[in-house]
Chain A
Amino acid sequence: MSTTATVSDTPQAAIAPRRIDWLPLSLAPLLMLIAYPLVGSASSWLTLTVAGLAMGMIIFIIASGLTLIFGLMDVFNFAHGIFIALGAFVAMTVLGALPDWTQADSLGLNLLALALAALAAMLAAAIAGLIFERLLIRRVYGQHLKQILITMGGMVVGQELIKMVWGAQQMALPLPAALGGSLIWGEVAIEKYRLLALVIGVMVFFCVIGVLNRTKIGLLIRAGVQDREMVESLGYRIKRLFIGVFAAGSALAGLGGVMWGLYQQNVTPQMGAQVNVLIFIVIIIGGLGSTGGSFLGAILIGLLANYTGFLYPKIALFSNILLMAAILLWRPQGLFSTGNR
């Protein structure tokens, strides 16, 4: 093999290596800075900020699964909430079966119980996701209207199945003993569970980003978002990838359900449906299919909800809608397009 051809290497314009879009990334620090003088007290501001970040992380965990499902598979899965509720109920069952661990005055045992509950929830949600994809989603790929109708129907059926197993009433999901209460530094009070949620949210984010950006599977997912047919033409079975992504997305919803249920300290069969709107707001703000965008969108929603809840409680009720409208006016495609993942 020898070199024969010479090719003009002049770029069409000023080609630059992939750059980070810093403007959307500056929004969260900017919001924190703006809120500081309005809140007035440093301790209240810190408490609200940590609470907002923790809430954002939980919302991100819930939304990240749908971001993957929508981004790769172009599926409007309005039944995503059912995997959230399933995860929460499974976690409640597991934690309820381990009272010695959850009530022990040992952070290690508490975390172990929580990890087991989270794993069981993710497994159950992933299996449910596989069944859901096989029974319903597979029939409506590429048909958005049918997707909306069939997944909403699936949501109703899923809720009824949960009621059959666990009953229709609201049930308590108490925090393990060592995760209750707050850490106090002077006038700053930070709930321990929120700190844990913050850590888990960041871990999930880096795991998802790591898989997407540093593995071949992630490369395939990112390529599949852009051109499924070409991925097939390169020899990869994209249907299998779809199924895997749907299961992974459902598992993340299950984990989100555990976090959300513990955050609310109760579970209901309707809890998934209740957060569905919030999830869609997050993925629209972030840019459809963008994991980084969802992460940022969730943080903004969490921060804004906490700041406005403290400063202007009436605005807090629709602060997320206001945020979505403002961001879409600025960037109609959301904060990041899928390419900026």
Chain B
Amino acid sequence: MIVQPLLKLDGVHTHIGGYHILHGVDLQVPRGQLTMLLGRNGAGKSTTLRTIMGLWQASRGQILFNGNNIVGKATADLARGGIAYVPENMGIFGDLTVRENMVLAARGARNAEAIDTTRLEWIFGLFPALKKFWQYPAGKLSGGQKQMLAVARAIIEPRELILIDEPSKGLAPAIIANMIAAFRELKQTNTTILLVEQNFNFARQLGDTVAVMDNGRIVHSGAMAELAEDVDLQTRLLGLSLAAHQ
């Protein structure tokens, strides 16, 4: 079945200062699927997400979201247009409480009482720790709990596309298993997700499609299941770092 892309990058180049980071990225993110963006450190994965989000502007190429070119649009406008972003550092407001972090993410809510209760309870079901520490400073949460909060903020309102940068980074295996379960639940809502990951074990459990980056370009794209079954291809694309990914 051919799934139309919700997001399409055509020959996207990004310069940061004097550095040329993305060298013509071509990427398609099918609607309603979870696409994994893999690659070694420095391949350009995070830059790709930041460029989509408008945090760094593409110097060349097109980024089509729902068929509209979004290059040059302000980050806030993209967020309002339905794109959520979870950065690698999670972007938690540590001095605010968990509740306040969630109120900020729920743009339509003036306070916690105005947040959609059904959706909030669903999120509490995914991440019970957030309910327990609702009134606590977010900066005091553990790394895993902060990651849960970061993801929860991204889904507190329905979004068309969620960009997530390395959600498993630095987390204990038990917490990673919880995150995988939460993402599986999220996938059932037909939310389109583009997820950057270095942990191949994490990636192959969740991804529908996959793209692999190297040196600022997409060097492979296809179904996740194909890559998961083809050890030679994994070794060729992900190289020596594969052991670390496992």
User: Which candidate, B102-110, B210-218, B222-230, is the interface stretch facing chain A?
Assistant: B102-110
Q: Which residue of A lies closest to B146 (CB)?
A: A12
**A216 and B103 within 8 A (CB):** yes
Q: Which residue of B lies closest to A216 (CB)?
A: B110
Q: Which residue of B lies closest to A232 (CB)?
A: B75
**A18 and B97 within 8 A (CB):** yes
Specify which of B85, B136, B181 is in contact with A233 (CB 8 Å cutoff).
Answer: B85
Hey, which chain B residues are within 8 Å of A4, CB to CB? Answer: 125-126, 181-182, 184-185
Is A29 an interface residue when CB atoms closer than 8 A count as contact? no
**B75 and A1 within 8 A (CB):** no
User: Which candidate, B18-26, B33-41, B87-95, B193-201, is the interface stretch facing chain A?
Assistant: B87-95
Tell me the complex Cα distance, A1–B53, Å.
Answer: 28
**B128 and A6 within 8 A (CB):** yes
**B127 and A7 within 8 A (CB):** yes
Assess A230 versus B107: contact at CB under 8 Å? Given A5-B178, A7-B148, A12-B141: no
**B174 and A5 within 8 A (CB):** no
CB distance from A182 to the nearest CB of B (A): 43
Is B61 an interface residue when CB atoms closer than 8 A count as contact? no
Hey, which chain A residues are within 8 Å of B133, CB to CB? Answer: 9, 11, 15
Tell me the complex Cα distance, A12–B137, Å.
Answer: 13
**B140 and A15 within 8 A (CB):** yes
Is A41 an interface residue when CB atoms closer than 8 A count as contact? no
Assess A7 versus B140: contact at CB under 8 Å? Given A236-B76, A339-B95: no
Is B16 an interface residue when CB atoms closer than 8 A count as contact? no
Is B69 an interface residue when CB atoms closer than 8 A count as contact? no
Total A residues in contact with B, Cβ cutoff 8 Å: 39
Specify which of B75, B93, B126 is in contact with A3 (CB 8 Å cutoff).
Answer: B126
Q: Which residue of A lies closest to B157 (CB)?
A: A235
Hey, which chain B residues are within 8 Å of A16, CB to CB? Answer: 136, 140
User: Which candidate, A203-211, A221-229, A254-262, is the interface stretch facing chain B?
Assistant: A221-229
**A2 and B110 within 8 A (CB):** no
Tell me the complex Cα distance, A220–B109, Å.
Answer: 13
**A8 and B96 within 8 A (CB):** no
CB distance from A287 to the nearest CB of B (A): 12
Is A85 an interface residue when CB atoms closer than 8 A count as contact? no
**A229 and B185 within 8 A (CB):** no
Q: Which residue of A lies closest to B124 (CB)?
A: A3
- CB neighbors of A among B108-161 (8 A): 110-111, 118-119, 122, 125-129, 132-133, 135-137, 139-145, 148, 153
**B104 and A232 within 8 A (CB):** no
The majority secondary structure among interface residues of chain A is loop
Specify which of A1, A226, A232 is in contact with B94 (CB 8 Å cutoff).
Answer: A226
**Beyond A8-B144, A15-B141, A220-B104, 16 additional pairs, beta carbon < 8 A:** A1-B185, A4-B185, A7-B128, A8-B174, A9-B132, A15-B140, A16-B136, A16-B140, A18-B135, A219-B104, A223-B104, A227-B91, A232-B79, A234-B107, A235-B80, A236-B76
CB distance from A210 to the nearest CB of B (A): 14
Hey, which chain A residues are within 8 Å of B79, CB to CB? Answer: 232-235
Assess A338 versus B95: contact at CB under 8 Å? Given A9-B128, A232-B75: yes
Tell me the complex Cα distance, A243–B104, Å.
Answer: 20
Is A238 an interface residue when CB atoms closer than 8 A count as contact? yes
Hey, which chain A residues are within 8 Å of B129, CB to CB? Answer: 7-9
Is B233 an interface residue when CB atoms closer than 8 A count as contact? no
CB distance from A239 to the nearest CB of B (A): 9
**A5 and B126 within 8 A (CB):** yes
Q: Which residue of B lies closest to A235 (CB)?
A: B79
Specify which of B93, B137, B179, B189 is in contact with A227 (CB 8 Å cutoff).
Answer: B93
Q: Which residue of A lies closest to B189 (CB)?
A: A1
Is B55 an interface residue when CB atoms closer than 8 A count as contact? yes
Q: Mark A159-180, 1 if CB is under 8 A from B, else 0.
A: 0000000000000000000000
Is B64 an interface residue when CB atoms closer than 8 A count as contact? no
Hey, which chain B residues are within 8 Å of A225, CB to CB? Answer: 95
Is B175 an interface residue when CB atoms closer than 8 A count as contact? yes
Tell me the complex Cα distance, A17–B140, Å.
Answer: 9
Tell me the complex Cα distance, A12–B143, Å.
Answer: 8
Assess A234 versus B105: contact at CB under 8 Å? Given A1-B122, A222-B93, A229-B55: yes
Tell me the complex Cα distance, A131–B33, Å.
Answer: 48
Is A237 an interface residue when CB atoms closer than 8 A count as contact? yes
Is B240 an interface residue when CB atoms closer than 8 A count as contact? no
